[in-house]
Amino acid sequence: MNIIKILGAYGGTDDGKATTSIQISEKVTIDAGNILNPLGYRARKIDHMFFTHSHYDHIVDLPFFIDAFFLEREEPLHLYGINHTIDVLKKHIFNSAICPDFNIIAQAGGKGPAIVFHEIEAGNEYAADSVRMTPFETNHIVKSVGYVIKKHGKKIMFTSDTYKCGKIWDILNSDETITKLIIETSFPSAYEHLALASGHLTPKLLNEELSHLKRTDVDIYICHIKPKHIDTIKKELRDFERTKNAIVLDDGMEIEL
Nearer to Zn ion, 18 or 172 (CB): 18
Nearer to Zn ion, 102 or 187 (CB): 187
CB under 8 Å to 87, separation ≥6 — which residues? none
Within 3-122, strands assigned E span 3-8, 21-25, 28-30, 48-50, 77-81, 115-119
Shortest CA distance to 178 belongs to which of 227, 121, 136?
136
Residues facing residue 116 across a β-bridge: 78
* Count of residues near Zn ion by CB under 5 A: 3
CB contact burial 213-245 (16+ within 10 A = b; e otherwise): eeeeebebbbbbbbbebeebbbebbeebebbee
Contact string (CB under 5 A) for Zn ion, positions 40-79, x = contact: ---------------x-x----------------------
Sites for Zn ion among residues 133-162 (CB under 5 A): 161
Nearer to Zn ion, 105 or 141 (CB): 141
Cβ 58 to Zn ion shortest distance, Å: 6
Within 99-253, strands assigned E span 115-119, 126-128, 131-137, 145-151, 154-158, 178-184, 219-223, 247-248
Say if residues 190 and 228 touch (Cβ distance below 8 Å). no
Cβ 103 to Zn ion shortest distance, Å: 24
31 touching Zn ion, by CB under 5 A: no
What is the full DSSP assignment across 133-155? EEEEE--SSS--EEEEEEETTEE
Nearer to Zn ion, 134 or 144 (CB): 144
Cβ 121 to Zn ion shortest distance, Å: 20
Cβ 34 to Zn ion shortest distance, Å: 12
Cβ 167 to Zn ion shortest distance, Å: 17
Cβ 64 to Zn ion shortest distance, Å: 18
Nearest-angstrom CA–CA distance, 29 and 52: 11
Q: Which positions lie near Zn ion, rule CB under 5 A?
A: 55, 57, 161
